[in-house]
Structure formats: C-alpha cells, structure tokens
Chains A and B, each alone.
Chain A
Amino acid sequence: MGSSSSSRNKIPNAQELMRQTGFSSAHLLRLHDRFESLDRDNRGYLSPDDFEALGGLAMNPIGGRIIEAFFSSGIPWTFPPLSGFWLISVQLTETETKKEHSKSSPAAGPGSSNLYDLDRDGKISREELLQVLRAMLGLQVTEEQLQSIAERAIQEADLDKDDAISFDEFKKSLEKMDIDTKMSVSFLK
C-alpha cells in the first residue's frame, strides 16, 4: 500500500476524486497511468491526435467517429476529469459497481446517437447513417445496396416520417435491446 499511496500523491485531489467517483485508489492509479501513457507529449491533456496514434483505434473502421464523439464537447481531456469520457463514466458508475464503466441505457442513447449524428442536429439523417454504414461494411457491398440498407433502416425507425431518426425514435427502436449487457466494458479489474 505504501507505494500506491506515494504515487497517489501525484494525482491532484485524489481524495476528492475517490469520493466523487467511488473508485478505489488502485483504480485511480490505473487510470492515471493509462492517461499518462496516452498523453505522450506530457501536455497534461489528451487530444484527438493521441487517440489516433493508438494502433487498435486506427484499425477500427469507425475509430475516427468514436474519437470525434469523445471530443465532441470541445473541452480537452485533462486528468482530473473535468469533461468527456471520464466524467461520463463517473456519472454512470455511481450506482454501478466500482470496477465497471457501464453506459447504461439512458446514456448509451446519446452516446451512440452521437456516433451517428455528425452535424449535431439531434437527428440521424440518411446521409449520416450511410457514412457509418460505409465505414463499417467496407468495400464488399455496393453503393446502391448501402443506400437501400440505409433507406430501410431509416424507414424502420422513422415514426414521424421526416426521413430522419430523432433521438426519441432511436431510443424507441432500441429499447428491446439489452443495452446493459451489450454496452458495458469490463474495466479496471
């Protein structure tokens, strides 16, 4: 415990954070380590470039989109979590057990609809859906097929016939999905 408490001192207001988040000091330390390894230039905050440098994320077909969604608020990520990802995780894990970062259903909605919604108008248009599809389905599927898939998907969820999926519609169409199970990541073991 000695080593962890000494290194905990590196983290500013560790006590405060632990109280807020319910993370144990080991978890916090782990997060901090990861943060430092991500922040290669030691700028004290993370930028999209840091994420793009990650090998796995670069391979991810919608990696760019995900990074974009994380940085959507425009505030840079500093370690004592002020915004973005950390904060989301903090808010959400209040009721959950400490060691998981779980996007429970109310949040998964905006999160994932953010991933679709490029222009932030609160709606997923056909074009936006098409872009995601194009990224995910790759070259094997022809453009026409992509288009009809997008068309079909929109049609499916579009209740008010405005040719776009609003957030409510999105939520409704996914309510049968077991989002708790599907959108939870085992984290900080």
Chain B
Amino acid sequence: MATLWRFTLFLCMLLMACEGLSLASEEAKTRNTQTETGTASSSNTTGEGGHGGAPITTLPIVTWKWDHISVQYLVALWVLVCWLCKLLIEANHNVTNYIPESALLICSGFILGGMIWGADKVQTFSLSPTVFFYFLLPQIILDSGYHMPNKLFFTNLGAILIHAVIGTCWNAASLGLSLWGCHMGGAMGDLDIGLLQYLLFGSLMAAVDPVAVLAVFDQVHVNEVLFIIVFGESLLNDGVTVVLFNVFDAFVSLGGGRINAAEIIKGIVSFFVVAFGGSLVGIAFGILISLLTRCTKNIQIIEPGFIFVMGYLSYLTAEMLSLSAILSTTFCGVLCQKYVRANMDESSVQTVKYAMKVFANGSETIIFVFLGISAIDKVIWVWNTGFILLTVFFVFVYRFIGVFFLQWILNRYRLVPVELIDMVIMSYGGLRGAVAYGLAVLLDEKKIKEKNLMICTTLIVVYFTVILQGITMKPLVMWLKVKRAAVTEVSLLEKITNKMFNHTLVAIEDISGQIGDNYFRGKWRHFEEKWMTPFLMKPSARKKQDDVFDVFHQLNLKDAMEYVTEGERRGSLEFVRNDSAILDFKKKLESEYTEVMPDIPPYMINDHEFDINNHIPSVSLEMHEQTMKAMRGAEAVDVHHLLDQHLYKSRKQYRHGFSRSDFKINRDEKEVQEIFQRTMRNRLESFKSAKMGVSPPKTIVKYSKKEQQEKVKTKRGNNKLIFSFSFLDFEFSEGDSASGYDSSYPSFSMRATYRPGGEINALSTSCGIENPAFVPDLYPTDLLQEIPPWLAESEPDSSMVAPSLRAQANLPNSPMEMRRLGLLRASTRSTDTKQMNNDQLPPPPTSPPPPPPPSGQM
C-alpha cells in the first residue's frame, strides 16, 4: 500500500516540479532559441509538427507534438537524470565511504553541464531562484521540521538560536567588512563594489546550508548534541540570512546617502518581525494541520496529502506576507509532527514519512546536480583572484572564530559543555550551499555591477565547503575521535527510566527552588496535556500518545514481525514452541490485539524479510535453542492460530482492488451479496452439470490448481467475480501455508497447490448432495484425513454461508478455523505421510505456490 502511495506522490511531485522548472526552461529558451540539450537532444528539430502549423490537408494519424509537452518532458527528464546520477553514485559504496554523496552529485553535475555546454556552446539549464525557493526547498525544510527530534531541538534551542542569529550576523558583518577593508587596501584591484554591496554579499554568504549540512552529517554520524546544534543552526539561520539579505538589498536600493538611524532601526525591527512572524505563521499552520488530521478519518486515502499541501501553504503564506518562509515551514513541521502521528492512521503516518523522504531526498539530489551544472557557464565566470580567495579564506576563518567565541560563552551555561573537538567540527561543518547560490542569483544586476563575480565566488565557496570540507569531514571526525552517535535500540526500560528521570529532575528543581530548563519543560508538558492535546488530538489517539506506551507498541510490532518472519524463514513455526515464549507472545498479542494487528502493513513484512538474514534478533536466537523440544499440541495450535490470524489479516489488505479509496475489503454489503448470489448460482450450475454428467467431477480432484482455474475460466468465462472469489479462497489457504516457502516440509507447498482444488471441489459439490468425487474410495486414507474434516465441515453450513464469506469474515475462534489448524499441526508432525501424499497426488507440485494472481492485488 505504502509503495503504491509513494509512487503516486512521486508523480505528484513531478507534476509540481514541472510547473516550476518550466519557468527555468522558459528562461533558458529565451536565451537560446534552439533548445537542444545533451539529454533531450535531436528532438527539437523535428518539433514543428504539432498543432497550429500549416492547415492540414489530410487527417494525420500520428503527429509529433514536442512543443506541447517539451517543458514537462524536460522537467521529468531532468528529475530522472538527477536521480539516475544518485543511483550510479550510490552503487559504488567504496567511493561514497570516502567522498560524500553531495560532493559526487555536484561532480556529476559538472559532467552533465559539460555535456550540455559541449552541445549548445552555452549553458541552457541552470538552477533558477524561483525553482529553487518555491519548488525544491520547501519539501526539504518541511522534512527537516517534521522529522526534527523535538526534545533534542528544544533542549538545545538556546544554543541553536545564539548560533543562528548572532553567529550569522557575525559572519555576515565580518565577511562584508573585511572584504571591504581589503578592497580599500587594494587587494582586489579595480572593483565596483561599495560597502553596502559587500555587506549584502556577506549576508548571503553567511548562512550555513541545511541541505549541505544534512547531506554530510548524515553520513558521518556525530553525536546528537553536536548534530542538533549544527543542523538546527543551519535551519534557523536560513531565516536570518534571508532577512539580512532583504534588509541589505533594500539598503543598497536606497543608496548609502539615505540610510539614517531610522532606517537601521527599521531594519532591526523588520528582522524580528520577519523571524517571529514567520514562526507564528508556521505554528498556526501546524495547529491547522493537527486539527485537520483529527477529522480525516473518512478520507484516509488522501490524509497524508494534507500534510504536504498545508506545509507548502505555510511556506507560501509566509512568503506572501514577506515573512521568513523557511522558519514558517520548520516550525509547522516541528509543531504538527506529534499530533499528526497520533491522529492519523498508522499506514498514513508511514506514507507521510516515506513520501517526505522521497520529496526531500529527491529535491536535494536535484539541487546538488544543478549546482554542478550551473558552474559550467562561461558567462558567470569572472575571475578576481583577490576577491575569491579572500572570500573563501574569510568565510572559513570567521566561522571558526564565531563558533568558538559563541560556544565558549554558551559553555559557561551548559551543564555538559561542548568539547573543543566538537567545536572544531561545528566550525568545520559550516557548509554553504544552494541557499547562498539562490540568493546570489537573485541579486539585481542593475544595482550590483559585479553580480557575476559574486555568483562565481559563491559557487566557489559552495564547492570548497561541500566538496573539500565534505570529503575531509569524515577523516577529521575519525582523527579527532569525536564522540559518535551510538546506534541505539529502543528499550522499554530505558524509556521508562528516562521518563522517571524527567520527573525526578523536575522534582529536584522544585526542591531546590530553581527555575530551570526542567521546570519549564514540566510546565510546558502540563500545559500541553491540559490544553493542546485535547484540542489537537483525537480522543482515541490520546491514550497512545504517551511515549512509554508508544515504545511498547513499537516493540510489540517488531516482535510480531520477527516471530512471523522467523517462522516463515524456517518453514515452520516450531521455533516458538516454548512455554514462556508462547504465553508471553500470546499475552502481548491479546492485550495489543486490536491495535497491533491491523496496523501491520504487508510491505513491512516483506521489508523485514530482507533483514532477517543479517539480523536475527536475540529474542528469536534464544528460540532456536528450543526448536528441538518436543511440541505440545495445544500450544502449537495456539501459536499457529495466532500467527495464522496475523498472516491472514495482513494478506487481506492485498485483496482490495475494487475501489481507489477504500482499504477495507468487501465492506460493501451489496458486493458480498453479489458474490454470494453468483456463487450460489454457480453451485447450482455445477450441481446441475454434475447431475447431467456433463463434466464428470471425478476428474476435478486430479487437476492441479492451475488447470482447475483454467477450467473454471473456460467453463464460465463470463463471470469475473467468481474468479476473484476463487482467488480469495486460494489466498486464504495460502495464508496459512505461507510458512511453507523454502521450507523443509514440502507438504506445505503441496497443500497450497491442491487445497484450492479441494476448495473448488467443495464449491461445486457442496449443495448438500453427495458428489461422486468424494466417495472415500477414491482417496488414500491419509488424504482423507486431510480434506474431509474441512469439507465435511463446510458442507452442512455452506448452504448458508459461502466459502468466500468465510474467507472474508474474520472468525478467529470458529471451530472450522481450529480444525484447519489442527490439520496444519498434523501435517507438520507427519512428514513422511505427507511425502506419501505428495506422491499420490497426480501432479506432484515441486515448486512453491505461484504468487496470488495480480488481479487480487490491485
């Protein structure tokens, strides 16, 4: 389900990006009328055949309409090309171990750019600010906000803000002033740049880039405090830098003479208004999202979309009000994450999570590639050794000075001071990126004569920081022995103790009469619980909102999946036959039963299967030892029963496919009725035909499943529903034998292959009339043991309930179910008899059952 969703969302994103990039390529087109590029070449020369040409003389059967779709096509192609670059890069792990992916992406951008330039002799494509700020950046920011580790973020918020605000201002001012000083000193020759322009340049260079930082730090895994400070800073300072940029841009427009104290004060005021206003807009949208997700129960299918739309709207709204859009989206994500996760359905939450990653990762890739492509353009390369080298030098040095100074002050107030080594990494992690480039391109050439020099310098700084510092980051982290992030596994006790610690800290502060962080945290939690949660969260979700409970839930989910995958892998579920494990499992399952079970999306099980090979959890390792223990019947049935329930249910999700929006299968009374009716009619027909002797049912048994279905199809080719009905049953029986994949017991797979046969048999014979096919003589006794209880059971009541209903309706404790499980048990026990059966069945199935037919999955 989620894969499907991911795919649709990806399409949406393409569409979204299309409109955006169209602007870019429109621009490109005006610059160069013959759009012939490295990737989309040779298409434009023939592109005249669309509409609006000469009057047609005859009806064209096929026409060439490149002009119609050229923009969209190019956008889609570029997205594809960028992603393919990433694919190629990620294929070589030994390279990405040393060189960060972002640097490699930029390099591949160089190559692509070179190809385009070689073909066109001019750069046709480049990253335009519009595309970057409105179509590529928002999802990255939203993703960072939405996946922000909130507690960590707010614990270090003070440090983050200091670095983001004061640090950025410091960077901007120092860089601008120093460059101006050097200019005055004559270090760069003849340049037409004034002090204000230098400050403007400084402000656009000041911000550490979240995209670049995240790309590099993600791969380095430094400890979380270090990470959150650098990352949080990079997020928040974007807001600051955009404000600074706007202020200085306005100053430059005003001209030096007209700037007086009032204007400067206005500038400072606007800084705060923009920053806080942006945050407020974000918070408002966060609340809106939370409220919306409270009532999306009935439209679960587009529920995840709201997060994206509203997130994007928060960005645009802030932009419209000329507030900080980045801050807005960040805070929107930060605020709504908790409520969204609680309010929405588990699968929607997963969808949001993955779609967010797809968007963010996708546009990050595009940004880096285009940063590379943009470089291959003769127009922007204006070389001024002094200016460029001094900028790189100052950016690097002032970052160090700023971070060390600020952190030195902050350390006096920190309980656990940030170490010197960490500070080095913090400074070194000051990567500049696409935001700086986007702002540089935004510069107005009329006001700033040396715009191209600035763009070119910005690019060089970006390359210097992303490529050089990015590559050296990892060795540096290793060499300095920076504390790395521990790979942690959630543990319940840890969570509980953690929670208790928090309470204790608050208590200690109470006792000592101190108003500290914990005091505020306690107060905030209280406030949140009292006011926000009832308002923003579904009543039903509130229970689960506690994080201890949440971890418990997660662990249980994991366990359940491990049990199942382990069972599947081993081909039987014997491994759980241990007293405590069963009791334990059962208990957990029962307490969580209603909540856990429907929550497991089928794909997760599949995902897990890959894991299981290299990661067998300790829990199940213990179980291995008990594998050899003799089983106890009743317990085995229990376990089988539970697991069967599980498999059966998750399987069930595959079986919708009649509706685009409804996950639940056959909720529709009418549909069930329809199936039922048709089934009944079919039975009657088959009964009739059996009576008439048209198709001797005797042979049916001997058909393999495939032939059987073939037969059904040929016999009654008109009704699709019937067919899908038999799929249902087929899957049903496959459900319990799913553990038979690559099993040591061929019996399992065999069962899967012939049971549907039996099923259909039952179908065609179960009108309470004895069918010659079921004269016991025809069967070997073992086989009898297999089928008859099933059939005997189904025959009397099948006049009331069709097997399909049985398959759909979830009757966990019906005697039939148990009987079936009893069968299963019997089969696991007696493998040799199974073998015998195998031989006696006419078509000996050697391969595992084929996957359920596709129509069942759609």
Contacts and interface: CB of A to CB of B under 8 A. Distances in A.
B363 to A, nearest CB: 34
B520 to A, nearest CB: 11
A100 to B, nearest CB: 5
A186 B501 contact: no
Contacts of A141: 543, 546, 549
Contact of B493 (A111, A140, A173): A173
Interface in A115-151: 115-116, 129, 132-133, 136-138, 140-141, 144-145, 147-149, 151
B418 to A, nearest CB: 11
A163 B560 CA distance: 22
A54 interface: yes
B503 A177 contact: no
Interface stretch (A1-9, A10-18, A57-65): A57-65
Interface string A24-41: 000000000010011000
A133 B552 contact: no
Interface in B531-570: 542-543, 546, 548-549, 552, 555-556
A133 B548 contact: yes
B26 interface: no
Nearest to B416: A181
Interface in B468-499: 486, 488, 491-494, 496-499
A140 B519 CA distance: 24
Given A140-B546, A141-B543, A62 B500 contact: yes
A152 B511 contact: no
A21 B48 CA distance: 88
Interface in B491-517: 491-494, 496-501, 503-514, 516-517
Name the residue among A85, A102, A145, A173 with the largest chain B CB count within 10 angstroms.
A145
Contacts of A70: 511
B526 A182 contact: no
B584 A151 contact: yes
A182 B503 contact: no
Interface string A148-189: 110111111100000001000010011011001111111111
B496 A185 contact: no
Interface residues of A, number: 61
Given A173-B493, A173-B494, A34 B546 contact: no
B225 A112 contact: no
B54 interface: no
A45 interface: no
A176 B549 contact: no
A106 interface: no
A148 B591 contact: yes
A185 B508 contact: yes
Contacts of A66: 503-504, 507-508
A140 B534 CA distance: 13
A149 B500 contact: no
B511 A38 contact: yes
A51 interface: yes
A26 to B, nearest CB: 14
A137 B546 contact: yes
13 contacts: A38-B513, A62-B507, A66-B504, A136-B496, A140-B546, A147-B591, A149-B549, A152-B492, A156-B492, A157-B493, A174-B497, A185-B505, A187-B512
Given A54-B511, A181-B416, 15 more contacts: A34-B513, A51-B511, A55-B510, A60-B522, A62-B507, A70-B511, A102-B415, A137-B548, A145-B549, A148-B588, A151-B587, A152-B588, A173-B493, A173-B494, A187-B516
Interface of B: 225, 413, 415-416, 486, 488, 491-494, 496-501, 503-514, 516-519, 522, 526, 542-543, 546, 548-549, 552, 555-556, 584, 587-588, 591-592
